[in-house]
Amino acid sequence: MKLLIIRTIAVALFSLSFLSDFTRAQSGTFDISTFGGKPNGDITQAFLSAWKEACASTAAAKITIPSGRYSMNAVDVKGPCKAPIEIQVDGTIQAPANPDDMKGAEQWIKISYAESITLSGQGIFDGQGANAWKINDCDSNKNCKMLCMNFGLLFLNNSIVRDITSKDSKNFHVLVLGCNNLTFDGFKVDAPEESLNTDGIHIGRSTEIKILNTVIGTGDDCVSLGDGSKQITVQNVKCGPGHGISVGSLGRYPNEEPVEGFYVKNCTLTDTQNGVRIKTWPNSPSTSPISDMHFEDITMNNVSNPVIIDQEYCPWNQCSKQNPSKIQISKVSFKNIKGTSGTPDGVVLTCSSGVPCEGVELGNIDLTFNGAKATAKCSNVKPTLTGTAPACAAN
């Protein structure tokens, strides 16, 4: 009798397990709780297990992390996967506050070599970066230790990041590298002005990247372009605090790839150190050009340097200015830019004496400083002026 009961229970448990697995596979939804992930607990292993099953699914899959507070150590998940995957996060996930607990990971959430990935939801990824900012010495030490970024999106194709928030990263919030057709829509970056080296979204060697309807407040560039960035669109973005929207810095390293096709439109920058900026290092080993840069319909609210090309970029005297930058900048337009400048010179174009800028246009620039029209200073460039724009004085 006991043996019969035991067999009956075993069969029932097997059936329940089978039905659970079958239902999960059929629905294509992998809730984190199914893998042992619970609010107020560590979901590292649960997330990795959910990814493994979702990646193996032949039908479109969704990993869900419901509302609640969770902790998670660094995770590194990879494709290729068999079908599209959506990761829907509606809870708050916290990284270890101690940088040493990241165990040398360059990115906290690393997703790579995959197609059709969606990261969505009302969730917050909290990097708990305050302790890291205190030990960051990159403002004085060019060989400083790199701290962990919140996200590394590497070699993804046809993917989207929608609505989620990246908060208080220890380093860059998002690194986009080697991606094609990746869109950020309704994304938010939230960090204080004193958070060092916390670029909102840094893009390198990627094509067709779109940053739309996004709000970025951080301690460094809101958006920055590294070498090899092509066909990048930034539209309807609010930036501040931060260092502005930047191309570069470029030219510091050999074998950099050209940057071309940057379209910044209908953006608002508030209380930032810079507005829209292109920056290259002098004495540079790289000669890769920068071309087709277009900044249009932009509002500046108390921005210290609203429009700037700086080909003598040399922070903290970490370089020599003995030789000019070898990077040619061409086909650049700044149009319909209005608002207030925090300095008298609303436009500063400092181009290279070795390869002067070509094809630069200033059109309808309406910036004021303390109620007076902001001025423009230029060197090694003769911009075309259209509409209302300040004439260049020698820089």
Q: What residues act catalytically?
A: 243
Q: Give the separation between CA 329 and CA 289, rounded to whole angstroms.
A: 6
The pair of three-digit structure tokens given for residue 40, joined into one six-digit string: 């107020």
What DSSP line would sit under 143-159, residue for residue?
TPPPPPEEEEEEEEEEE
- Contacts (Cβ under 8 Å, ≥6 apart) of 383: 349, 360, 361, 362, 392
CA nearest neighbour of 107 among 69, 77, 142: 77
Work out whether strand 345-350 and strand 375-379 pair parallel, antiparallel, or are unpaired: parallel
Q: Give the separation between CA 377 and CA 337, rounded to whole angstroms.
A: 16
Q: Give the separation between CA 338 and CA 313, rounded to whole angstroms.
A: 25
In the chain, what is the greatest distance between 2 CA atoms, to the nearest angstrom?
A: 100
Question: Measured between alpha carbons, how far is residue 306 from residues 159, 221, 374 in Å?
Answer: 32, 13, 10
